[in-house]
Structure 1
């Protein structure tokens, strides 16, 4: 008699359990359908996407990623294999590893050369510029979106070549016009002198623009071939550049606050490196308020800490650390007290023909071209190529440069890293 009573009690529970199981199965089917739908969308996306597990085994990738990375067509989802075995790309592997270490998304751009065992194909293969955006996924997986930047690179190279050809064609006629105007200055009456001065100023600006562009093109094609490197005293070079610009700086009562060793030698091309500091100090002087300081802080970095040291000079004089003869890299911080860069401009300050935001530009002062030891000063020419040239020269020396706003002073903060550094005995 107890069995029917027990069954009468359990039947509603069994019914609810069956209903819950049915709902769970339906939910799983819905989720599976959603996953399938999203995979189909990602599969047809114009950007590449791949997913690796915690052991860097490729779990899944879409058609675009398979095409960009030249993954063998026989590979299929479910055939777990190490990514490095399928794609011989150190940069991609590093991007994934950096994402694991930092536990946050990373971005990296590199030139990818597809792997091939055919000797003839290796000689004919062309690199593809890729940009990878990584992201963290559940269960320790990493996802990477891949963007093919090669069409943009080709377009930029084509544009630059066109402008370089135009610059070559303009150089001779501009020089001829300059000579004619200079000759007329001594032969016409004084009422025409002011007009001729304005014409000559614009001609000089165009000539400087042509020179700047040709300089960029030259450094871009074969940077190391156009460098004549020798050991240079970095402190002496910085002070030499400042002395050249000092007449302009004195008009606004600006001073240089230098901090760093006086015996630091860097293996560099003197003329090119002079141009780097010339362009940077020129910008700093133009955008600094009156009665302020421009800081130049030179810090030798040890081999083990070269990638870690990020010094932050403050408004007061900074004492440099004790230098060591084993320093392999030098960090140079140049800071002004101006309004700094806007957030929108920070990503473009090293682009060609970049012009500063009007709020920063309006602080610029008027100046004149000065020369020192054959180095022409592009003061206030407004070509928009100054920092682009700086970046090209620094990278040609194997260094790097970045721009940001100083957190305490508020002005522009340019950081330069140069290799091949040593300390002289004196």
Structure 2
């Protein structure tokens, strides 16, 4: 009886040992080759190595969690908003700034809900979709109107101007940085109001000074009269600057305030502008070349559009080397592809003004239509030299006014460098073009 019990226990022990051996071999089979220094050796020294690797992986995991926590704390304290959504546009996390900008009172950390349930913003949703589809950073700016549950809150909450930058992440997730531009917008508006008030106040004394200078001009003999003439030029420059500033402010406040639209023939309008500039162009032997249809009409305010071409062609003359030609090219862009070039459907007019001057610096191209912007020094020196020889000094607001006039007509304007001439290339798109057969 004792022997049978011994044999039975031995059999059970051997069976358990074999089972553990087989299990250990299976585990060893899953170990990466880099850990198998001796494939045939599955003795006890391998187990401490496994324990060491497991401990190392745990330490790496803790380090990564600590790094993730540090980044999360940085984002939480960042001066810009940040939110992150998954592939189904569910809000995974956002920092305090984003919660304040988007009024996310109903969202709690750790809660996963659709972003559209929390923030009723079509622009934000579209930005996220475009970022995910294109897998590229996308930027959008819009006026955000927060949604409120009570009527009293709607009256208290003010809309915000937000700029958002979407970043594509792994597994369809998207991160969005939010910037509140409302304060900057209000500062700019306050600055413009102050400068406009100042410009209004300056008009009267400047006019009085000009009258005094004109009186002195008649009474002072040469060669001292050249100083009076110089003073008169500077006074005129200040008057033009004040008038341009007031005009630009008016256009930005209400672009369509004084637009008197009527049919305007483009070719004859450009010819009138060139007649005005021909004395200055003749001194430098600069010619104008027009190409395109002869009988193009647009529905526009003629004095305003005249001002656009006057400013652009004046700049082209100033920056073009002597003996060169300024090109004005017109082209019809039909909005209906099945129209075969016939203007019995709506169409746009593309106008290209190309010179052979020094062109724009690449860094200046996005800013050439900003007020008082001073670009590349080489181009500025050309203009300064021209101004000193002609007595014509720019106010720094001409291109900004041009842009506002074009926008008021529902068009667009773009500054480029022409690939052939190397000079400035201004492209204008105007709507409502017509042609008489």
Bin the TM-score by the shorter chain. Answer: 0.7 to 0.9
Counterpart Cα distance in 2 of 1:121 and 1:222: 30
Residue 344 of structure 1 is matched in structure 2 by: 363
Q: Deviations over 1:214-257 (max 9, x none)?
A: 10111122222232222322333233222321221222222223
Aligned-residue offset at 1:117: 5.1
Q: Which runs of 5+ in 1 are unaligned?
A: 306-320, 371-378
Q: Deviations over 1:86-144 (max 9, x none)?
A: 22333323333333343321223222222335455545653322222222211122222
Q: Which moved more, 1:193-202 or 1:48-57?
A: 48-57
Residue 408 of structure 1 is matched in structure 2 by: 420
**Which aligned pairs between 1:44-193 and structure 2 lie closer than 5 A?**
44-71=77-104, 73-116=105-148, 118-119=150-151, 121-122=153-154, 125-193=157-225
Report 1 or 2 for greater relative contact order, CA contacts < 8 Å, sequence distance ≥ 6: 1
Q: Deviations over 1:272-320 (max 9, x none)?
A: 2221221111111111112222232333334378xxxxxxxxxxxxxxx
The match for 1:325 among 298, 323, 344 is: 344
Query: Is 1:388 matched up with 2:400?
Result: yes
Residue 29 of structure 2 is matched in structure 1 by: none
The number of residues matched between the two structures is: 401
Counterpart Cα distance in 2 of 1:171 and 1:411: 37
Matched residue of 2:322: which SS? coil
Residue 75 of structure 2 is matched in structure 1 by: 42
Q: Check the 8 A contact 2:106/2:118 in 1, yes or no.
A: no
Counterpart Cα distance in 2 of 1:270 and 1:143: 48
Matched residue of 1:190: which SS? coil
Residue 309 of structure 1 is matched in structure 2 by: none
TM-score normalised to structure 1 length: 0.84
Q: Check the 8 A contact 1:394/1:401 in 2, yes or no.
A: yes
Residue 255 of structure 2 is matched in structure 1 by: 223
Structure showing greater Rg: 2
Q: Which runs of 5+ in 2 are unaligned?
A: 1-13, 25-40
How has the CA–CA distance of structure 1 residues 411 and 158 changed in structure 2, closer, same or farther, with 3 Å as cutoff? same
Counterpart Cα distance in 2 of 1:109 and 1:339: 33
Counterpart Cα distance in 2 of 1:277 and 1:194: 32
The match for 1:266 among 278, 298, 309 is: 298
Residue 425 of structure 1 is matched in structure 2 by: 436
